[in-house]
Structure 1
Amino acid sequence: MQELGPHPPTKTTIALLYDEESENAYDIRLKLTKEVLTIQKQDVVCVGGSHQGRNHRTVRLRRQPVGGLGLSIKGGSEHNVPVVISKIFKDQAADQTGMLFVGDAVLQVNGIHVENATHEEVVHLLRNAGDEVTITVEYLREAPAFLKLPLGSPGPSSDHSSGASSPLFDSGLHLNGNSSTTAPSSPSSPIAKDPRYEKRWLDTLSVPLSMARISRYKAGTEKLRWNAFEVLALDGVSSGILQFYTAQDGTDWLRAVSANIRELTLQNMKMANKCCSPSDQVVHMGWVNEKLQGADSSQTFRPKFLALKGPSFYVFSTPPVSTFDWVRAERTYHLCEVLFKVHKFWLTEDCWLQANLYLGLQDFDFEDQRPYCFSVVAGHGKSHVFNVELGSELAVWEKSFQRATFMEVQRTGSRTYMCSWQGEMLCFTVDFALGFTCFESQTKNVLWRFKFSQLKGSSDDGKTRVKLLFQNLDTKQIETKELEFQDLMAVLHCIHSFIAAKVASVDPGFMDSQSLARKYMYSS
């Protein structure tokens, strides 16, 4: 077996998991490998000694003459959040126990239950509990981020000399409380048989990336989540809304997760192509968002899975995972009879650019609010508008449509359509080598033939009739040929595909020079 080189390193970062219902964000750690995105949450685990057997920990603190209990708290029932330890001061009483951590919810103080107590009630209990205080705590894995300091932040003490406290600010219990004696008390220190605890990141959710999709938009809206996105696995598992502390972090992680999904998709394509004939290979596939038609839609975009395979362009609601799934596509179009068009993306924050692909069929008027959009126009004027999450994905779709179409044109060589003019049934052939030929359907008698280079223009009524303007090589005069087709758009798109493929075969660099999506990629 060929060695493919070392696996890419595991990527990690500290981020937030945002809950849209409560509008709270929770500290998490993300771990990205080639195939899986793992969500980790912090928990306190016993690493030695005699474990108490429950998630609760009961800790005895001795108030120190300087520093008091050595901790601060936030929260309270009046704000529907628990009272949580928000700071632990180094080398003071709480820190010396080795059993208390930022993020611990306070359950009892000297045997008094305080789960439903207000912030002020817990502050009063702790400050007036005497020199020896016993508290029972449990680590709150999903404590709202505002209850805790950012990880690694120093914790300067707050000035609470006025005696007032707020549940959303630290109440410092490092000050002296009302003790029964002025004699110095021994520090709180663990003994050998006491359990030892550590705060660790533990795996809580794994999102497989094969055939997964990414969404930066709030479901059912056009609201873009800045510095945030969601990863949804093929089996329906969701990462939840992942928020990042900076725009750069959000962009880096969006690109990294997208790159891993793209690499796994390429592997799936290679596996699928082993079961397909050379003329029916998968060129590209992946998730997009399709714009819904009609003003009554509750949401404007919905996820779709697109594939370019052999002679066809497929639209699925879910990815094909077996050879039998290809027959259940929602829509299937012949590649030669569709027009791919990049039509909007951001060059800068508020600068839009209208980009045209190929040789300039008439412009279409789009009013999409999302960047990175493209359309696929099929026969009878049927149009699909799609959006992708990244400019790099847009460039890949553009290049893949070109490649798949050109391969199909060269593979088939020609396409023939029935047409009519002045009541006579005719056949019209577009041939990669010969150009355009019109002949009688019954006798096969050729009426006229022109090369691609002789086509100088065209016009149509947008319904069934088209005028093709050819230059006679001998007389240099323009000859007009009028024809009528049942599906005019399919024929025009086919002409477009064959001409573009012919140009690309003569000058491979020409089509790349027309790609504004790729120009944007290179410039940025």
Structure 2
Amino acid sequence: MPRWNKWEDGIPGTSGLEKDPNLRETKKRDSELAGSSFPSLLTSPIPLRIVNVSDGKCRPQPARLKVCPEYLVLQKEEFIFPDDDDTYPRDNKKRTLRLKRQLDGSLGISVKGGSDHNLPVLISKVCRNEDDDHPYIGDAIIKVNQMSLANVTHDEAINILRNAGPEVILTVKHYRSAAPFLLKGVRQLIPEQEQNMDLVDGNSNNATSAPASGLEPRDERTPSIPSASTTSQSQQHPHQKFLPPFNASSSSSSTAQCDSRIRGTSCGSTPVIDSPCSVGSDGSLSWNGIPRVKRKWVDVVEVPLMMAYITRYIFGTDKIRPNSFEVRGMNGSHTGVVHSPDLAVLSHWIKLISDYIIALTNVKAALLNRQLSSNEQISYMGWVAEGVLNSNQPWQNWTPRFFALKGIHVCVFDKPPIEAKDWNGSHVQGYKTYEAMFRIIKESENVDERQHCFLIQTTGGESRYFSMETRADLLRLESAWHRAVCFTIADLGSKTFHVVHKNLPAAFTIDWTDGFLLKSFASPNYHFIYAFSQLKSSSDDGNSTLKLEFVDPPGTRELVEQVLICPKLQDLLFYMHAFLTAKVASLDPVFLNRGRLS
């Protein structure tokens, strides 16, 4: 599993945004076919937010989450350094710097690292006069006045620098890869690469305001100069020690110069944007640490949202992750674990991403329906988790399954069906809706900590236990099931079973129009005909005997009991349940039309 604690390993899911070319081609074709079928949700503004992401084991790292119409994108922040600046040092080249100590004893630099941290002694902050030699953030100090710092601790390096005399000669070598980590403390002051110059004049306001939902990140592209109070000792790295503070007068002039460069008030008619790469221990700034560095958000993971799987549970278990979720794409990419301390924001993001997944999956179903006959139409597709029995430890393993209702069939896939041909094969298990029973599990009946569970039971005696992410998902599936059963039973019309009634062999028929009918094989006439509305109750012995109570005549309180003996009692009960479910659903035409995917 990819490691999130090291950015150079990338974000889990994809490497360099690699994607299955077959899936990309299918998506392109689907997009062309869909046309106006795409819901308005998919053309809405793209939400952004800064989040923390991990692999579930290591410490979360900051990233930016972006919901695009068809992809969920994770971005990491990179610093862009000038390639056209001749004064900027090149890696692996030693340089000699001559620094004069200020009147207050300061050298105007801060350092991190040391042998006790398995790091070289690195310059982490710079605040120098413009006429001095330029140290850069990311410079490793190799020597101080010919004294090597190769194997000294952090405290020893501080003492050597403090006692190096009024003029110090530093031998340094630049490590550009170290600069991004050292710049994190002032990242909010560094302009993004796509900086709009119109936003940084003296009267500018943020052009992009955050919506009421609070999901948009604060626009940090407009740099500003913090006061000394904004940089407190409590915000400093625990292993970082500053040299004596920089001269106040120099700090003031440097800060004024920085401010004029940002605001464009005294540097000519055209504003010049540089980045505050040098920050003194007292919060003052200078511009000679790393000139003109910019921030840039780089896409590192793209998870296709069509048929994607979003979950808050630890994969394969019934344990829910606090304040986090992950999204897995059908091409194998995944976001890692996305963390958000705000439960309201977390819930909003989960709902937003789920809505995109549902909308895109419904579009895919509608496209597949164009290739299917009218009696094979898909009415539902989505992910569930199935509890899989382990030896002596029931429901310890939860496996994602792709669940679909297609025509008369309930289909359970190991992986999502991309093409029409994928609906057949060893990776899919199917049942007929009128030979299966859907039952929502009460909370008190849950077998473990998984919530929103349901059971599928079949005439063959098979039971499968599933869970969904939310109550809304479960109710949506239940509604789709009832609609599918209604359409299936209406097409089926009737079902007849051989029974024994009053010691005579007979045919018992459940008819979509007429209800319950019984006719003896020895007689051409029906022994009874009851409408569905006349059925009052039913009971069975679990073996072969079924008792039915009907209101007869209709509109009275008089009950008539009919006793049937059926060798296929289980099948009969499933068909009865299907016909009754369909009749109830058919009473609401609006409900039946609501779920059509076309």
**Distance change (3 Å), C-alpha of 1:98 and 1:299:** farther
Match of 1:236 among 329, 332, 340: 332
Letter in 2 for 1:69: G
| Residue pair 2:412, 2:430 contacting (<8 A) in 1 also | yes
Instruction: Give runs of aligned pairs for residues 87-486 of structure 1, distance below 5 A.
Output: 108-110=141-143, 119-120=154-155, 123=158, 131=168, 134=172, 136-139=174-177, 152=188, 155-158=230-233, 169=238, 171-173=240-242, 175-176=244-245, 196-294=292-390, 295-296=392-393, 299-328=396-425, 329-344=427-442, 365-419=445-499, 426-440=506-520, 446-473=526-553, 476-486=558-568
Secondary structure in structure 2 of the residue aligned to 1:260: helix
Deviations 1:403-429 (A, max 9, x none): 111121222222233445698764432
| Residue pair 1:421, 1:484 contacting (<8 A) in 2 also | no
Secondary structure in structure 1 of the residue aligned to 2:354: helix
Report whether the alignment pairs 1:502 with 2:571: no
Letter in 2 for 1:209: L
Deviations 1:272-308 (A, max 9, x none): 0001111211101011111113444694311000001
Instruction: Give runs of aligned pairs for residues 20-99 of structure 1, distance below 5 A.
Output: 20-21=56-57, 23-47=58-82, 49-50=84-85, 65=102, 68-69=107-108, 71=110, 73=112
Deviations 1:375-420 (A, max 9, x none): 2222244222222222321221121111111121222222233445
Shift of 1:210: 1.6
Aligned match of 2:214: none
**Distance change (3 Å), C-alpha of 1:110 and 1:209:** farther
| Residue pair 1:57, 1:138 contacting (<8 A) in 2 also | no
Normalising to structure 2: TM-score of the pair? 0.66
Aligned match of 2:48: 12
Aligned match of 2:596: none
Aligned match of 2:217: none
Whole-angstrom distance in 2 between the partners of 1:212 and 1:389: 13
Whole-angstrom distance in 1 between the partners of 2:122 and 2:439: 55
Secondary structure in structure 2 of the residue aligned to 1:292: strand
**Distance change (3 Å), C-alpha of 1:502 and 1:308:** same
Whole-angstrom distance in 1 between the partners of 2:508 and 2:458: 19
**Distance change (3 Å), C-alpha of 1:28 and 1:174:** farther
**Distance change (3 Å), C-alpha of 1:271 and 1:506:** closer
Letter in 2 for 1:378: T
| Residue pair 2:120, 2:141 contacting (<8 A) in 1 also | no
Whole-angstrom distance in 2 between the partners of 1:418 and 1:63: 105
**Distance change (3 Å), C-alpha of 1:415 and 1:17:** same
Aligned match of 1:359: none
Shift of 1:331: 2.2
Aligned match of 2:17: none
Deviations 1:163-211 (A, max 9, x none): xxx9x6252425359xxxxx99x988778xx863222221122112121
Report whether the alignment pairs 1:491 with 2:572: yes
| Residue pair 2:404, 2:412 contacting (<8 A) in 1 also | yes
Whole-angstrom distance in 2 between the partners of 1:78 and 1:372: 52
**Distance change (3 Å), C-alpha of 1:483 and 1:195:** same
Whole-angstrom distance in 2 between the partners of 1:418 and 1:411: 22
Secondary structure in structure 2 of the residue aligned to 1:24: coil
Whole-angstrom distance in 1 between the partners of 2:76 and 2:498: 65
| Residue pair 1:42, 1:141 contacting (<8 A) in 2 also | no
Q: Does 63-72 or 2-11 show the bigger shift?
A: 63-72
Letter in 1 for 2:561: E
Whole-angstrom distance in 2 between the partners of 1:331 and 1:237: 25
**Distance change (3 Å), C-alpha of 1:121 and 1:433:** farther
| Residue pair 2:122, 2:141 contacting (<8 A) in 1 also | no
Whole-angstrom distance in 2 between the partners of 1:483 and 1:139: 81
Shift of 1:448: 3.4
CA RMSD, Structure 1 to Structure 2 (Å): 4.4
Identity of aligned residues (%): 28
| Residue pair 1:341, 1:376 contacting (<8 A) in 2 also | yes
| Residue pair 2:323, 2:339 contacting (<8 A) in 1 also | yes
Secondary structure in structure 2 of the residue aligned to 1:492: helix
Secondary structure in structure 1 of the residue aligned to 2:335: strand
Letter in 1 for 2:440: V
- In structure 1, runs of 5+ residues without a counterpart are 161-165, 178-182, 345-352, 355-364, 512-524
Letter in 2 for 1:341: R
Question: More strand by proportion, 1 or 2?
Answer: 1
Shift of 1:242: 1.2
| Residue pair 1:48, 1:196 contacting (<8 A) in 2 also | no
Shift of 1:309: 0.8
Whole-angstrom distance in 2 between the partners of 1:150 and 1:485: 79
Normalising to structure 1: TM-score of the pair? 0.74
Deviations 1:486-508 (A, max 9, x none): 351x4323212212322333466
**Distance change (3 Å), C-alpha of 1:69 and 1:35:** farther
Deviations 1:240-290 (A, max 9, x none): 111123222222221111111111101101110001111211101011111
Whole-angstrom distance in 1 between the partners of 2:479 and 2:48: 32
Secondary structure in structure 2 of the residue aligned to 1:196: coil
Q: Does 43-52 or 490-499 show the bigger shift?
A: 43-52
Whole-angstrom distance in 1 between the partners of 2:66 and 2:430: 38
**Distance change (3 Å), C-alpha of 1:142 and 1:149:** closer
Count, aligned residues:
469
Deviations 1:457-499 (A, max 9, x none): 11122344322223432893422222224351x4323212212
**Distance change (3 Å), C-alpha of 1:441 and 1:202:** farther
| Residue pair 2:408, 2:488 contacting (<8 A) in 1 also | yes
Whole-angstrom distance in 2 between the partners of 1:417 and 1:126: 97
Whole-angstrom distance in 2 between the partners of 1:421 and 1:78: 91
Deviations 1:433-467 (A, max 9, x none): 11112345698764433221222211122344322
Whole-angstrom distance in 2 between the partners of 1:264 and 1:218: 25
Secondary structure in structure 2 of the residue aligned to 1:370: coil
Shift of 1:320: 0.9
Secondary structure in structure 2 of the residue aligned to 1:502: helix
**Distance change (3 Å), C-alpha of 1:99 and 1:382:** farther
Deviations 1:54-84 (A, max 9, x none): 77898969577467535574x7776789988
Question: More helix by proportion, 1 or 2?
Answer: 2
- In structure 2, runs of 5+ residues without a counterpart are 1-34, 190-225, 255-277, 279-285, 593-598
Letter in 2 for 1:335: T
